[in-house]
Structure 1
Protein backbone atom coordinates (compact mmCIF):
# COMPACT_ATOMS: atom_id res chain seq x y z
CA UNK A 1 0.00 0.00 0.00
CA UNK A 2 1.04 3.57 -0.58
CA UNK A 3 0.56 6.73 1.42
CA UNK A 4 -2.17 8.43 -0.55
CA UNK A 5 -2.46 11.53 1.60
CA UNK A 6 0.09 13.92 0.11
CA UNK A 7 0.09 16.06 3.25
CA UNK A 8 0.91 13.08 5.45
CA UNK A 9 3.67 12.00 3.08
CA UNK A 10 5.29 15.46 3.14
CA UNK A 11 5.09 15.62 6.94
CA UNK A 12 6.63 12.16 7.30
CA UNK A 13 9.49 12.95 4.95
CA UNK A 14 10.16 16.18 6.86
CA UNK A 15 10.15 14.30 10.18
CA UNK A 16 12.44 11.57 8.86
CA UNK A 17 14.92 14.15 7.58
CA UNK A 18 14.89 15.79 11.01
CA UNK A 19 15.48 12.39 12.63
CA UNK A 20 18.34 11.76 10.22
CA UNK A 21 19.90 15.04 11.36
CA UNK A 22 19.46 14.06 15.00
CA UNK A 23 21.19 10.73 14.38
CA UNK A 24 24.09 12.46 12.66
CA UNK A 25 24.28 14.77 15.67
CA UNK A 26 24.53 11.78 18.02
CA UNK A 27 27.29 10.32 15.86
CA UNK A 28 29.19 13.60 16.09
CA UNK A 29 28.68 13.66 19.85
CA UNK A 30 30.19 10.19 20.12
CA UNK A 31 33.15 11.16 17.96
CA UNK A 32 33.68 14.26 20.11
CA UNK A 33 33.47 12.10 23.24
CA UNK A 34 30.70 14.23 24.71
CA UNK A 35 29.17 13.55 28.10
CA UNK A 36 27.16 10.31 28.32
CA UNK A 37 24.14 12.10 29.80
CA UNK A 38 23.98 14.46 26.81
CA UNK A 39 24.20 11.54 24.39
CA UNK A 40 21.46 9.62 26.22
CA UNK A 41 19.24 12.70 26.15
CA UNK A 42 19.67 12.96 22.38
CA UNK A 43 19.06 9.23 21.89
CA UNK A 44 15.85 9.58 23.89
CA UNK A 45 14.79 12.46 21.63
CA UNK A 46 15.53 10.36 18.54
CA UNK A 47 13.50 7.49 19.96
CA UNK A 48 10.52 9.77 20.64
CA UNK A 49 10.75 11.26 17.16
CA UNK A 50 10.79 7.82 15.52
CA UNK A 51 7.81 6.74 17.61
CA UNK A 52 5.89 9.87 16.62
CA UNK A 53 6.64 9.29 12.92
CA UNK A 54 5.56 5.66 13.29
CA UNK A 55 2.25 6.71 14.83
CA UNK A 56 1.60 9.16 12.00
CA UNK A 57 2.38 6.52 9.38
CA UNK A 58 0.32 3.88 11.17
CA UNK A 59 -2.68 6.19 11.44
CA UNK A 60 -2.66 6.84 7.70
CA UNK A 61 -2.02 3.17 6.93
CA UNK A 62 -4.77 1.93 9.25
CA UNK A 63 -7.30 4.38 7.85
CA UNK A 64 -6.46 3.27 4.31
CA UNK A 65 -6.65 -0.42 5.26
CA UNK A 66 -10.01 0.00 6.92
CA UNK A 67 -11.35 1.87 3.91
CA UNK A 68 -10.11 -0.85 1.56
CA UNK A 69 -11.81 -3.47 3.68
CA UNK A 70 -15.07 -1.60 3.35
CA UNK A 71 -14.90 -0.48 6.97
CA UNK A 72 -13.89 3.12 6.33
CA UNK A 73 -17.36 4.34 7.23
CA UNK A 74 -17.25 2.40 10.51
CA UNK A 75 -13.88 3.97 11.38
CA UNK A 76 -15.39 7.41 10.79
CA UNK A 77 -18.38 6.58 13.01
CA UNK A 78 -16.31 4.94 15.74
CA UNK A 79 -13.13 6.93 16.41
CA UNK A 80 -12.39 4.55 19.30
CA UNK A 81 -11.49 1.90 16.71
CA UNK A 82 -8.59 3.99 15.43
CA UNK A 83 -7.63 4.90 19.01
CA UNK A 84 -7.40 1.17 19.81
CA UNK A 85 -5.11 0.58 16.84
CA UNK A 86 -2.90 3.50 17.91
CA UNK A 87 -2.78 2.17 21.47
CA UNK A 88 -1.58 -1.15 20.06
CA UNK A 89 1.17 0.62 18.19
CA UNK A 90 2.18 2.50 21.33
CA UNK A 91 2.89 -0.84 23.02
CA UNK A 92 5.27 -1.86 20.24
CA UNK A 93 8.89 -1.31 21.28
Structure 2
Protein backbone atom coordinates (compact mmCIF):
# COMPACT_ATOMS: atom_id res chain seq x y z
CA UNK A 1 0.00 0.00 0.00
CA UNK A 2 1.37 3.41 -0.93
CA UNK A 3 2.02 5.93 1.82
CA UNK A 4 -0.61 8.37 0.46
CA UNK A 5 -3.22 5.60 0.32
CA UNK A 6 -2.39 4.51 3.85
CA UNK A 7 -2.67 8.06 5.19
CA UNK A 8 -5.94 8.58 3.35
CA UNK A 9 -7.42 5.33 4.61
CA UNK A 10 -6.26 6.03 8.19
CA UNK A 11 -7.81 9.48 7.91
CA UNK A 12 -11.07 7.95 6.61
CA UNK A 13 -11.14 5.40 9.43
CA UNK A 14 -10.47 8.08 12.04
CA UNK A 15 -13.19 10.30 10.59
CA UNK A 16 -15.66 7.40 10.58
CA UNK A 17 -14.89 6.61 14.23
CA UNK A 18 -15.16 10.27 15.27
CA UNK A 19 -18.54 10.53 13.52
CA UNK A 20 -19.76 7.47 15.40
CA UNK A 21 -18.54 8.94 18.71
CA UNK A 22 -20.36 12.19 17.89
CA UNK A 23 -23.60 10.27 17.35
CA UNK A 24 -23.13 8.50 20.68
CA UNK A 25 -22.45 11.85 22.32
CA UNK A 26 -25.78 13.10 20.94
CA UNK A 27 -27.56 10.03 22.29
CA UNK A 28 -26.08 10.62 25.74
CA UNK A 29 -27.10 14.30 25.65
CA UNK A 30 -30.60 13.17 24.73
CA UNK A 31 -30.56 10.76 27.66
CA UNK A 32 -29.58 13.58 30.01
CA UNK A 33 -32.42 15.74 28.70
CA UNK A 34 -34.85 12.86 29.19
CA UNK A 35 -33.70 12.45 32.79
CA UNK A 36 -33.90 16.17 33.50
CA UNK A 37 -37.42 16.39 32.08
CA UNK A 38 -38.47 13.28 34.03
CA UNK A 39 -39.53 11.23 31.00
CA UNK A 40 -41.12 7.83 31.46
CA UNK A 41 -38.75 5.20 32.85
CA UNK A 42 -39.32 2.83 29.91
CA UNK A 43 -38.27 5.55 27.44
CA UNK A 44 -35.14 6.24 29.47
CA UNK A 45 -34.28 2.53 29.62
CA UNK A 46 -34.73 2.26 25.84
CA UNK A 47 -32.32 5.17 25.38
CA UNK A 48 -29.79 3.61 27.77
CA UNK A 49 -29.97 0.36 25.79
CA UNK A 50 -29.48 2.26 22.53
CA UNK A 51 -26.40 4.00 23.95
CA UNK A 52 -25.01 0.70 25.21
CA UNK A 53 -25.46 -0.92 21.80
CA UNK A 54 -23.87 2.06 20.07
CA UNK A 55 -20.83 1.92 22.36
CA UNK A 56 -20.51 -1.85 21.82
CA UNK A 57 -20.66 -1.34 18.05
CA UNK A 58 -18.02 1.39 18.33
CA UNK A 59 -15.72 -0.96 20.22
CA UNK A 60 -16.22 -3.71 17.66
CA UNK A 61 -15.51 -1.31 14.80
CA UNK A 62 -12.33 -0.03 16.44
CA UNK A 63 -11.17 -3.60 17.04
CA UNK A 64 -11.94 -4.62 13.46
CA UNK A 65 -10.18 -1.59 12.00
CA UNK A 66 -7.16 -2.21 14.21
CA UNK A 67 -6.91 -5.85 13.15
CA UNK A 68 -7.25 -4.94 9.48
CA UNK A 69 -4.54 -2.30 9.88
CA UNK A 70 -2.19 -4.75 11.58
CA UNK A 71 -2.83 -7.39 8.94
CA UNK A 72 -2.29 -4.93 6.09
CA UNK A 73 1.00 -3.87 7.66
CA UNK A 74 1.86 -7.54 8.12
CA UNK A 75 2.39 -7.08 11.83
CA UNK A 76 2.35 -10.19 13.95
CA UNK A 77 -0.82 -10.24 16.01
CA UNK A 78 -0.21 -11.36 19.58
CA UNK A 79 -2.63 -14.25 20.21
CA UNK A 80 -2.89 -13.47 23.92
CA UNK A 81 -3.77 -9.84 23.20
CA UNK A 82 -6.28 -10.89 20.54
CA UNK A 83 -8.04 -13.28 22.94
CA UNK A 84 -8.23 -10.52 25.56
CA UNK A 85 -9.78 -8.14 23.03
CA UNK A 86 -12.34 -10.73 21.95
CA UNK A 87 -13.34 -11.34 25.58
CA UNK A 88 -14.07 -7.61 25.99
CA UNK A 89 -17.23 -7.99 23.95
Which ranges of structure 2 fall in alignment gaps of 5 or more residues?
Answer: 1-8
Pair 1:92-2:88 in alignment: yes
Superposed CA deviations along residues 33-69 of structure 1, whole A, max 9, x for unmatched, are 1000000001111111111111111111122334556
Pair 1:46-2:42 in alignment: no
Which ranges of structure 1 fall in alignment gaps of 5 or more residues?
Answer: 73-85
- Calculate the TM-score normalised by the size of structure 2: 0.70
| Equivalent of 2:12 in 7, 12, 26 | 7
RMSD: 2.8
State whether residues 19 and 50 of structure 1, in contact with CA within 8 Å, keep that contact through their aligned partners in structure 2: yes
Secondary structure of the residue aligned to 2:23 is helix
Superposed CA deviations along residues 59-83 of structure 1, whole A, max 9, x for unmatched, are 11122334556459xxxxxxxxxxx
CA distance in 1, matches of 2:86, 2:36: 32
Deviating above 6 A after TM superposition, structure 1's stretches of 4 or more consecutive aligned residues are none
List aligned pairs for 1:12-31, cutoff 5 A.
12-31=17-36
Count of residue correspondences? 78
